[in-house]
Structure 1
């Protein structure tokens, strides 16, 4: 089913009232967002919290932002402070997996409890409007002259945009280990650096750059999807001649040590929120593709993503 058709079906379910699990008591949830305000994890966590409240599944939601190290700092705090707490959730995603592979932190996802994958999207690379470079071809040519002169700005080391930049360099015949990648602790910081011309090219999900692209403050030059994003005239890296395709996804984990019944209740709660109008609207507004995956299927997916990302990063010369 196409993304637009799926969103329409979700909206129809919301309209007829097929919403929260009435037998489940509303919880007072605590949401760990392991990134600074303004980025994709922050937007996702707060949109999810609002939808859970609107659906009557959560009486309240409190948020804590703790950025750094591709989410590893927030992950460690979440694991250590929330053991056994059935009302604690943490936003995470592909970026965290990449950060764990490169940073090898003492606390990893195996200590937390998988709940659900929520969304997926592809990365868009942009230039500030004032840049003398106009296309991805210009960026590559500049890198060939002097790799250090091109500053790539994005999420933490090991993020999907970092991996995509390394893959692109390798495809262009360059030493991927020599790319000048500047990591930021959150999407807000990265956006400010791009707008201020402090980095040459920036990468992130389209939703994070949308308002700046539409206002003309950023120029999109490529997307990491297999085909062009619907309704957007942004070339894919593949059609530009570079065999680079990588997607981003986001999900939620629960605290370590919760009972199986508590895990199931959280899975049911997240599943139910996908039928809530507030969440459907958030998907549409942010250009997120719904990608619900729960239980063992989500656990297995994360394991497969670890293996895939590790292989890609080895091939790209990142590890």
Structure 2
């Protein structure tokens, strides 16, 4: 356990995302609510990708009784001495996620594990695999069989290369034994372009967040073959990949991270705050309203999960030919629900 703690302390340098889209910077302080010491923090949603999550997290924190303001720091006693990325009120908390981890690997820069203190996993986006409504691929088994037999002729579409949609196809290819380097994938910056590519015959199948594809599914323009998470989406009659015999459980997750050299006392205070907020009914309601999957996991459990997620991401990027194949990975295996 001591080695693990020293390992995490060595990694704590403030998060520098490859996208330059920092979504949530927060100064942690404390104030008293009755006889209970509560953590205060400030949210600055300066990046679009994670802005909604940061705003929702602040709202759930306020509903849980914490002092949370958007745009400025809370006054009061800090949780510990200011560290790198900190403010006069305390520490900075950054909301980031899987795309930043993948970008760091692709750009050969420091990863989340190297540049931040893991605090808690917050939420995730369910991914879905879709085909045109008139596609001869009637179910996921048909798609998997074609991908395995003819990966170069199974044209795939989704978001930009190396981002979650591409990673999902890489995970599927690995799980069924297909050669990921032969997968023909085209990334598009916007979902609408992916829809157009799929419907015009430029792609056989596409992947993306369920939230982005719901309208096309609802209008009958595309059919969903499988969702990426371990549990079915309640209002969607679509099997999971696990039900289809593919050992993949995946979500485009978001999480909270602390700054470099975060003192243990400050980390413990921030983790306790995150645990209470992500376990609250307010956070569950916020996720439901936004169409996110709550993925509560905090503290050391989250740090250990993040180790495996980093290894899985590195491995699938290597399988897809996006990373040097000589790069080592220490393990394989992770899931969106912390199994």
Q: Which TM-score band (shorter chain)? A: 0.5 to 0.7
- Structure 2 counterpart SS, 1:195: helix
Name the counterpart of 1:123.
Answer: 127
Name the counterpart of 2:248.
Answer: 245
After superposition, the C-alpha distances for 1:226-278 in whole angstroms (9 at most, x for unaligned) are 5644442213345545x341312321112223443333332232223235443
Name the counterpart of 1:61.
Answer: 70
After superposition, the C-alpha distances for 1:162-218 in whole angstroms (9 at most, x for unaligned) are 23312434566653113233345xxxx432223333663332343443454334454
Name the counterpart of 1:110.
Answer: 114
Name the counterpart of 2:157.
Answer: 152
Tell me how large the CA RMSD over aligned residues is.
Answer: 3.9
- Structure 1 counterpart SS, 2:190: helix
Give the 3 Å change call, closer, same or farther, for CA 25–274 of structure 1 in structure 2: closer
Name the counterpart of 2:92.
Answer: 88
Instruction: Note if contact 2:39-2:270 (Cα within 8 Å) is conserved in structure 1.
Output: no
The alignment of Structure 1 onto Structure 2 pairs a total of residues equal to 273
Matched, 1:197 2:177: no
Higher Rg: 2
| Alpha-carbon distance between aligned partners in 1 of 2:320 and 2:35, rounded to the nearest angstrom | 46
- Structure 2 counterpart SS, 1:299: helix
Instruction: Note if contact 1:152-1:165 (Cα within 8 Å) is conserved in structure 2.
Output: no
| Alpha-carbon distance between aligned partners in 2 of 1:316 and 1:260, rounded to the nearest angstrom | 38
Q: 1:164 aligns with which of 156, 168, 193?
A: 168
Matched, 1:28 2:30: no
Give the 3 Å change call, closer, same or farther, for CA 130–111 of structure 1 in structure 2: same
Give the 3 Å change call, closer, same or farther, for CA 148–92 of structure 1 in structure 2: farther
After superposition, the C-alpha distances for 1:273-319 in whole angstroms (9 at most, x for unaligned) are 23544322122234544332222222222122223443455556654
| Alpha-carbon distance between aligned partners in 2 of 1:182 and 1:190, rounded to the nearest angstrom | 12
| Unpaired segments ≥5 residues, structure 2 | 1-32, 73-82, 324-339
TM-score, with structure 1 as normaliser:
0.67
Name the counterpart of 1:263.
Answer: 267
Give the 3 Å change call, closer, same or farther, for CA 145–268 of structure 1 in structure 2: closer
Instruction: Note if contact 1:228-1:234 (Cα within 8 Å) is conserved in structure 2.
Output: yes
Name the counterpart of 1:14.
Answer: none
Name the counterpart of 2:333.
Answer: none
Give the 3 Å change call, closer, same or farther, for CA 246–102 of structure 1 in structure 2: farther
| Alpha-carbon distance between aligned partners in 1 of 2:216 and 2:59, rounded to the nearest angstrom | 25
- 1:116 CA displacement: 0.7
Instruction: Note if contact 2:228-2:241 (Cα within 8 Å) is conserved in structure 1.
Output: yes
Give the 3 Å change call, closer, same or farther, for CA 231–259 of structure 1 in structure 2: same
| Alpha-carbon distance between aligned partners in 2 of 1:143 and 1:152, rounded to the nearest angstrom | 17
Query: In proportion to residue count, which structure has more helix?
Result: 1
Name the counterpart of 1:274.
Answer: 278
| Alpha-carbon distance between aligned partners in 2 of 1:149 and 1:165, rounded to the nearest angstrom | 11
| Unpaired segments ≥5 residues, structure 1 | 1-18, 64-80
